[in-house]
């Protein structure tokens, strides 16, 4: 059959119009003027993007796209780059030009903590009641751990934390209009110096102590990183010092692990002990600059640090202090991971990096970086004053050092308890926490926060320290201990933890992003598909980029192994003898 041929006719040539405006959203001159006024004389650097976003969000209670476009022009960045960072963090409320919120916004936000300790204390009913009680002018949202587990349940009215929150106390705080987090009494610069503070730093700077003796004392102490990973601190200093200059330092105060609040506890009381340890570490590795990354929920701590850093700069205890910059997080648990924190300090989304290279080799701005948890540096002065052997001798059962246990849940005296490494959970409850609450029998415990697993009360004689819990499928991490009673269930705890991981996954890798969501779906069922859960756990552990996805299955695996009696009768594989 003949086919009809349709000729191709070339379009007539036309003169290309010169584009009058760049692609993308046009910048509103009024919005640009407002952004410039807010930024003032602050540097227009790419790494300060998150700091600048905070200024806009604090001023207007939201991030309008008109302001985002203006900020992009001011920083000479693509609008998409600014938007992707603003939309990544929980505490930034992005609003379209038509006034409709993409995440829901209001003049005031009240966050109600939904972590396990707060859930046990009744945050669920509080979250349900508050929207009707406070009305449409207040946005009420669930929040991940707010770092005040000993005060459960906790709510945050703007920037003001409400301890042991009730509907009445939250309503009163909203009505007062006071949304500030004011710091309490603490040891300031003058008080710290009067107590012998910065003497060790002066001895280092003057040559009374040499670097090798300091490194040896740190190594002899056995001090390990107290943010969770547990890498020997002295060895880390030596490794970073061996890298080519210039070197940098980053301090992690983004303790977002549910159940953890030890860093806030120390920072609210004795900030300069940490700052002296920081400066000694920077001296030892010859770091040119130090960046302190503080979680956004700690507004009172930020005020303390800003005040005391100014005093330190105005009256330095030794000449030639490194530049210290305080950086503000924006509500992302993943930024507690060291490489994700570095990405955030650089003004990016907090997504973990593939390793190697490691942070000690290629860290902040591509330079070798000494990264430390806040509490690790807290111990430097004591170790150098008293000797490494003193710290190493503090443990029980052959373990070394002291641990600051953040204890919450069903005990009479929750809080930060300084105890020897190697103490058992039963000793910690009886000797430091005043026993269990009245009417509550010890049933189970989480030795290392959300990701550290769950153990039954019958396993109450395991030494709590690095390396002692791994044979049981658990780990101590940052020593965030949560205590459950016979009124609670390990299944409920696992569901709470997996919900947290699902919400906090950065989404970069499929095993974590999809795995946490699928695991939560599976464990919400009354009967668990145990073979499928075990297969899913193996994939998440083997293929996730960082510790979030690798450790997220721990609570689920522990329920299957140690609490089979809680699983429904139809759970496949439930009859296995564990």
The pLDDT tens digits along the chain (578 residues) read: 444 444 444 455 555 555 455 566 799 999 999 999 999 999 999 999 999 999 999 999 899 999 999 999 999 999 999 999 999 999 999 987 754 545 445 689 999 999 999 999 999 999 999 999 999 889 999 999 999 999 999 999 999 999 999 999 999 999 999 999 999 999 999 999 999 999 999 999 999 999 999 999 999 999 999 988 899 999 999 999 999 999 999 999 999 999 999 999 999 999 999 999 999 999 999 999 999 999 999 999 999 999 999 999 999 999 999 999 999 999 999 999 999 999 999 999 999 999 999 999 999 999 999 999 999 999 999 999 999 999 999 999 999 999 999 999 999 999 999 999 999 999 999 999 999 999 999 999 999 999 999 999 999 999 999 999 999 999 999 999 999 999 999 999 999 999 999 999 999 999 999 999 999 999 999 999 999 999 999 999 999 999 999 999 999 999 999 999 999 898 876 544 33
Residue with tokens 């695991």: 519
DSSP E strands in 158-276: the ranges are: 160-162, 247-253
With vertex at residue 60, the alpha carbon angle to CA 310 and CA 171, rounded to the nearest 5 degrees, is 90
Claim: this prediction has a pTM higher than 0.75: yes
List, by residue range, all CATH 3.40.30.10 domains of the chain: 108-176
CATH architecture group of domain 29-95: Orthogonal Bundle (1.10)
Residues in contact with 536: Cβ distance below 8 Å, sequence separation at least 6, in sequence order: 515, 518, 519, 522, 553
Cα–Cα distances (Å) from 542 to 42, 537, 550, in that order, read 44, 9, 7
pLDDT at site 573: 65
pLDDT at site 107: 80
pLDDT at site 25: 76
> Bridge partners of 160?
157
> Bridge partners of 456?
444
List, by residue range, all CATH 3.40.50.11540 domains of the chain: 189-386
List, by residue range, all CATH 3.10.20.600 domains of the chain: 402-485
DSSP state of 321: P
| Per-position b or e across 52-85, b if 16+ CB within 10 A of its CB | bbbbbbeebbbbbbbbbbbbbbbbebebebbbeb
With vertex at residue 321, the alpha carbon angle to CA 320 and CA 325, rounded to the nearest 5 degrees, is 140
535/528 Cα distance (integer angstroms): 13
pLDDT at site 105: 56
Residues in contact with 392: Cβ distance below 8 Å, sequence separation at least 6, in sequence order: 220, 221, 222, 400, 401
Residue with tokens 């290392």: 448
Residue with tokens 């806009």: 56
**Residue 257 · residue 335 · CB < 8 Å:** no
Alpha-helical segments (H) within 222-337: 233-241, 262-267, 271-285, 299-314
Phi, psi (degrees; rounded to nearest 5) at 88: -80, -35
510/320 Cα distance (integer angstroms): 46
In tens, the pLDDT along 276-331 reads: 999 999 999 999 999 999 999 999 999 999 999 999 999 999 999 999 999 999 99
534/539 Cα distance (integer angstroms): 9
List, by residue range, all CATH 1.10.10.1590 domains of the chain: 29-95
DSSP E strands in 307-365: the ranges are: 323-328
CA-nearest of 552, 573, 415 to 482 is 415
**Residue 418 · residue 439 · CB < 8 Å:** no
Q: Tell me, letter by letter, the H, E, C secondary structure of 78-92.
A: CHHHHHHHHCCCCCC
Whether domain 402-485 has CATH 1.10.510.10 = no
pLDDT at site 24: 65
Half-sphere exposure of 337 (CA within 13 A, CB side): 25
> Which superfamily does 189-386 belong to?
NADH-ubiquinone oxidoreductase 51kDa subunit (3.40.50.11540)
Phi, psi (degrees; rounded to nearest 5) at 184: -90, -160
Residues in contact with 261: Cβ distance below 8 Å, sequence separation at least 6, in sequence order: 147, 148, 149, 150, 255, 406, 416, 480
CA-nearest of 318, 314, 344, 312 to 329 is 344
Look at the domain 491-566 and name its fold: de novo design (two linked rop proteins) (1.20.1440)
pLDDT at site 10: 47
pLDDT at site 313: 97
pLDDT at site 8: 43
List, by residue range, all CATH 1.20.1440.230 domains of the chain: 491-566
97/86 Cα distance (integer angstroms): 15
Look at the domain 108-176 and name its fold: Glutaredoxin (3.40.30)
Phi, psi (degrees; rounded to nearest 5) at 161: -80, 140
pLDDT at site 12: 52
103/105 Cα distance (integer angstroms): 7
């Amino acid at each position: 059959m003949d086919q009809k041929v349709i000729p191709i006719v070339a379009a007539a040539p036309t003169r290309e119009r010169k584009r009058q405006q760049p692609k993308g959203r046009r910048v509103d001159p009024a919005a640009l003027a407002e952004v410039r006024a807010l930024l003032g004389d602050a540097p227009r650097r790419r790494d300060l993007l998150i700091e600048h976003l905070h200024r806009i969000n604090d001023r207007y209670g939201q991030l309008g796209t008109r302001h985002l476009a203006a900020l992009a022009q001011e920083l000479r960045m693509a609008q998409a780059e600014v938007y992707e960072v603003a939309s990544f963090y929980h505490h930034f409320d992005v609003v379209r030009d038509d006034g409709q919120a993409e995440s829901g916004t209001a003049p005031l936000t009240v966050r109600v903590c939904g972590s396990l300790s707060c859930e046990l204390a009744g945050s669920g009913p509080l979250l349900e009641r508050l929207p009707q009680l406070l009305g449409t002018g207040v946005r009420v949202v669930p929040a991940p751990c707010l770092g005040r587990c000993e005060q459960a349940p906790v709510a945050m009215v703007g920037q003001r934390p409400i301890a042991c929150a009730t509907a009445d106390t939250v309503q009163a705080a909203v009505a007062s209009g006071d949304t500030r987090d004011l710091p309490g009494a603490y040891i300031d610069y003058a008080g710290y110096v009067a107590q012998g503070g910065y003497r060790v730093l002066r001895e280092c700077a003057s040559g009374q102590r040499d670097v090798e003796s300091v490194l040896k004392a740190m190594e002899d102490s056995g001090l390990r990183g107290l943010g969770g990973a547990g890498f020997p601190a002295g060895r880390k200093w030596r490794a970073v010092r061996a890298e080519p200059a210039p070197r940098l330092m980053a301090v992690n105060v983004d303790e977002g692990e549910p159940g953890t609040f030890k860093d806030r506890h120390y920072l609210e009381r004795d900030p300069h002990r940490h700052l002296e340890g920081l400066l000694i570490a920077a001296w030892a590795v010859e770091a040119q600059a130090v960046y302190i990354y503080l979680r956004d929920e700690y507004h009172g701590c930020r005020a303390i640090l800003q005040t005391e850093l100014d005093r330190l700069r105005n009256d330095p205890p030794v000449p030639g202090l490194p530049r210290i910059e305080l950086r503000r997080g924006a509500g992302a648990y993943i930024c507690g991971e060291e490489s994700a924190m570095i990405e955030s300090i650089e003004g990016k989304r907090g997504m973990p990096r593939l390793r190697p290279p490691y942070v000690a080799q290629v860290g902040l701005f591509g330079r070798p970086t000494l990264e430390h948890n806040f509490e690790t540096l807290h111990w430097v002065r004591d170790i150098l004053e008293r000797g490494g052997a003193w710290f190493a001798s503090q443990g029980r059962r052959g373990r070394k050092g002291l641990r600051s246990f953040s204890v919450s849940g069903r005990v009479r005296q929750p809080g930060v308890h300084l105890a020897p490494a190697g103490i058992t959970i039963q000793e910690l409850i009886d000797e430091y926490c005043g026993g269990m609450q009245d009417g509550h029998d010890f049933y189970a415990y989480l030795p290392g926060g959300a990701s550290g697993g769950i153990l039954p009360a019958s396993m109450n004689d395991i030494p709590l320290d690095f390396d002692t819990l791994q044979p049981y499928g658990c780990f101590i991490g940052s020593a965030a201990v949560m205590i459950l009673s016979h009124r609670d269930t390990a299944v409920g705890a696992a569901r709470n933890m997996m919900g947290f991981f699902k919400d906090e996954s950065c989404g970069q890798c499929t095993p974590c992003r999809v795995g946490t969501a699928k695991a939560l779906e599976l464990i919400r069922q009354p009967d668990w598909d145990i073979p499928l859960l075990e297969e899913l756990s193996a994939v998440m552990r083997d293929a996730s980029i960082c510790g979030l996805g690798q450790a997220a299955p721990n609570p689920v695996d522990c329920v299957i192994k140690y609490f089979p009696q809680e699983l429904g009768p139809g759970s496949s594989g439930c009859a296995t003898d564990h």
